[in-house]
């Protein structure tokens, strides 16, 4: 792509989402292509006032570092530009809405549907981790669904690079209460296994309709997390229960790794090397 883009190159349409420091709109490229994009608009004034410059920079750098090679499960960043008031991220438009919306509409997913979506999520997190990126805020709001029902992970504003020292990685709480790992709550430490914890919470939610740890207040939610206080509300297949049990383990060193998750009996029918089959849409 040649010269820098400007907001005038797009027709801004409906709002798709609202973050703490940004708003995402559907935008149509002017001219012949008429292509859809999701443009994330961050107000410069707001970012500076709220001290979020670091997060915006992280998001751009992370998406750029994940872009080489590319992966169907990671939202594509086409370009960025700015004007006097805003920063703009031109992202792939993912038209099927958030995974959260699907869970809320359907209540509980069938085992097979959950397996297919989780397999795509696991494959994506595996790729992300192989590039040294920890997402740190995986949750059903940050998982979008394509037209064909494939998962696309978005919102890398809380991400961090694993090559940083543990000190640089020590995090104040950046995630979302219900999916935050016990080690982040107790020791402000975050590693690949914190994303694995979130995957366990998401799997539970796909099968049960609600996340495993949810209190009346954030504090109550945190108390439930650190005491591993969760219950299956409706019967779940034993292999799912067994996998969730291997993931929701307080000690991150004892928690299942991505490799162990892929080898778990619940994923026995998944051929991890057959990417074409793995990424075939759920609706196809």
Binding site for ligand ADE (CB under 6 A): 16-17, 24, 38, 75, 91-94, 144, 154
Q: Looking at beta carbons, which residue is closest to ligand ADE?
A: 38
> Which of these is catalytic: 123, 126, 137, 155?
137
Alpha carbon distance 203, 240 (integer Å):
8
Residue pair 103/209 in contact by the 8 Å Cβ criterion = yes
**Nearest one of 231, 206, 233 to 110, comparing CA atoms:** 206
3-class DSSP state for residue 132? coil
CB-nearer residue toward ligand ADE: 154 or 221: 154
Alpha carbon distance 247, 226 (integer Å):
14
Shortest distance in whole angstroms from residue 271 CB to ligand ADE: 29
CB-nearer residue toward ligand ADE: 7 or 17: 17
CB-nearer residue toward ligand ADE: 144 or 244: 144
Alpha carbon distance 264, 256 (integer Å):
10
CB-nearer residue toward ligand ADE: 38 or 248: 38
Shortest distance in whole angstroms from residue 18 CB to ligand ADE: 9
**Nearest one of 230, 220, 170, 173 to 200, comparing CA atoms:** 230
**Nearest one of 5, 121, 136, 119 to 62, comparing CA atoms:** 136
Supply the DSSP string of 27-78, one letter for each residue. EEETTTT--EEEEEEEEHHHHHHTT-HHHHHHHHHHHHHHHTT--TTB--EE
Shortest distance in whole angstroms from residue 105 CB to ligand ADE: 16
CB-nearer residue toward ligand ADE: 38 or 199: 38
Copy the structure tokens of residue 51.
């001290």
Copy the structure tokens of residue 60.
């751009």
Q: Which helix (H) or strand (E) holds 16?
A: strand 10-18
Tokens 């973050």 found at: 19
Copy the structure tokens of residue 100.
């959260």
Shortest distance in whole angstroms from residue 279 CB to ligand ADE: 18
Residue 137 annotated as catalytic? yes
Shortest distance in whole angstroms from residue 63 CB to ligand ADE: 11
Residues with a catalytic annotation lie at 137
């Amino acid at each position: 792509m040649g010269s820098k883009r400007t907001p005038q190159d797009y027709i801004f349409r409906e709002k798709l989402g609202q973050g703490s420091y940004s708003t995402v709109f559907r935008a149509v490229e002017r001219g012949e292509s008429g292509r859809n994009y999701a443009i994330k608009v961050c107000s410069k004034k707001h970012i500076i006032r709220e001290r979020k410059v670091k997060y915006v920079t992280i998001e751009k750098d992370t998406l750029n570092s994940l872009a080489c090679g590319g992966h169907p499960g990671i939202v594509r960043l086409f370009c960025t530009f700015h004007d006097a008031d805003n920063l703009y991220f031109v992202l792939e438009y993912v038209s099927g809405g958030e995974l959260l919306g699907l869970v809320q509409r359907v209540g509980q997913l069938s085992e097979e549907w959950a397996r297919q979506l989780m397999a795509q999520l696991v494959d994506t997190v595996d790729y992300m981790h192989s590039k040294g990126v920890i997402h740190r805020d995986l949750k059903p709001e940050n998982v979008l669904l394509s037209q064909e029902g494939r998962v696309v992970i978005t919102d890398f504003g809380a991400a961090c690079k694993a090559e940083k020292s543990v000190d640089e990685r020590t995090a104040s709480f950046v995630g979302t209460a219900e999916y935050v790992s016990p080690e982040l709550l107790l020791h402000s430490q975050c590693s690949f296994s914190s994303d694995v914890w979130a995957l366990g919470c998401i799997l539970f939610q796909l099968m049960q309709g609600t996340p495993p740890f949810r209190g009346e207040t954030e504090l109550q939610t945190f108390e439930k997390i650190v005491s591993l206080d969760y219950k299956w509300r409706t019967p779940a297949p034993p292999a799912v229960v067994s996998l969730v049990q291997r993931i929701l383990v307080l000690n991150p060193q004892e928690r299942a790794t991505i490799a162990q998750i892929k080898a778990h009996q619940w994923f026995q029918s998944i051929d991890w090397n057959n990417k074409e089959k793995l990424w075939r849409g759920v609706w196809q």
